[in-house]
Amino acid sequence: MDAVFRAIGKIPGALMVVPLFLGAIMNTFFPDVLDIGAFTTALFRDGAPVLIGLFFVAVGSQISFRTALPSLEKGLTLVLAKYGAAVAVGVSIAFLSPSGTLWGLLPLAVIAAMSNSNGSLYVALTSQFGSKTDKGAISVLSINDGPFLTMLAMGAAGLAQLPMMALFAAIFPMILGFILGNSSEQARAFLAPGEKLIIPFAAFALGAGIDFRVLVGSGAIGILLGLLTVIVSGGLAIAAVYLWHRLRRHPKPTRNVLSGAAESAVAGNAIATPAAIVAVDPSLASIQAEATAQVAAAVVVTAFISPFLVSWISKRQIGKGITKEAENLYFEDPARFEEVWEVDQSLRASAITEAPVEPESDLSRRVQAKKGSVS
d(CA 105, CA 110): 7
pLDDT grade for 67, boundaries at 50, 70 and 90: very low
Higher pLDDT, 196 or 237: 237
CB 133 within 8 A of CB 327: yes
Domains of the chain: 2-320 (1.20.1530.20), 333-374 (no CATH)
Query: Which residues share a beta bridge with 105?
Result: 102
pLDDT computed for residue 8 by the predictor: 72
Q: What DSSP letter does each residue of 300-340 carry, written as one string?
A: HHHHHHHHHHHHHHHHHHHHTT--HHHHHHHHH-HHHHHHH
Please give the biggest Cα pair distance in the chain. 84
Q: Say which residues have a Cβ less than 8 Å from residue 184's Cβ, sequence separation at least 6.
A: none
List % helix, strand, coil for the chain (3-state, nearest 5): 80, 0, 20
pLDDT computed for residue 355 by the predictor: 47
Of 68-82, 98-112, 207-221, the least confident: 207-221
**Average pLDDT of every residue of the chain:** 73
Q: What is the pLDDT of residues 76-133, one digit of tens each?
A: 788 788 878 777 877 777 777 666 666 767 777 788 888 777 766 676 677 667 777 7
CB 189 within 8 A of CB 4: no
Q: Is the pLDDT of residue 172 over 50?
A: yes
